[in-house]
Amino acid sequence: MATDDAIFLSYKENISLPTLRLYGWKPAAISIGYSQNSQDLFDLDACRREGIDVVQRPTGGGIIFHDRELTYSIVLSQADLGLNLGVKQSFETITSFLLKAYQDLGATAVFAKDAFKASLSVHSIAAFCFSRNEEYDILVNGKKLGGNAQKRRRRIILQHGSIPLAFDKEKAGSFLREPGILKSLDTTCIHEIAKEKTDFDRLSQALINAFSSQFKVILKTEELTTDEKLLAEELKTKKYSNIKQDAHATCSPAGMA
């Protein structure tokens, strides 16, 4: 989270280029939206015993259990897209590359708003990010695949999202104070929807190819800059090592900040 934030802040100050970052989590961890309270949601003692870190994201949305997954983050400006869009519309534009990537893996993915045009029913706010079908959530066979969230400053956008390769509902629920929240969880994962066996590397390449094709750009693989590394270390120490304990647990529409 500190690295995502460092790239975002560096780009805002014209230090960094537009960036697509792909990464995983080891060991597993839990992230919560910036306005959520970890003590209300988790058995933190159980998290500590199992070596599960809890981190507060710079974006909104609900709880995400990061285990066997790929996470992407994108930092760019509206000008990079050549568009002047509101938050919801920018979600549709930016996240469109995911639909293409899933299609290339053999799955038909749609936005919830398109799957339920006739009778779109936006679910009541729930703590677990994967349990809501909002307008721009991505559905495969009627089930939600992953979650996405945004942060904006001065028309600069940080969007990141979680794409589970597999999802262990029982394991995720074992750290919640109310495990029952997962009973009605209607989600899917890459191992269920891909036509062929797909690991982290293959999913990464599918995302890179889809992003390049969808936005007509050439991606260049690079390490973090020195400035980004230094800022990430500073943010890790000062901002992300201690999550909020007094914020009220809420979720914003479509996981957006």
Which residue in the list 47, 129, 189, 251 is annotated as catalytic? 129
Residues 208, 90, 133, 143, Cα dihedral to 10°:
-20
Q: Is 92 exposed, middle or buried (0-12, 13-18, 19+ CB in 10 A)?
A: middle
129 an active-site residue? yes
Angle at CA of residue 145, ends 116 and 201, nearest 5°: 145
Give me the amino acid identity at 29: A
- For 238, other C-beta atoms within 10 Å of its C-beta total 10
Distance CA 151, CA 236 (A): 18
Pairing verdict, β 29-32 and 64-66:
antiparallel
Distance CA 24, CA 19 (A): 16
Give me the amino acid identity at 171: K
Distance CA 112, CA 24 (A): 26
* Residues recognised as catalytic: 129
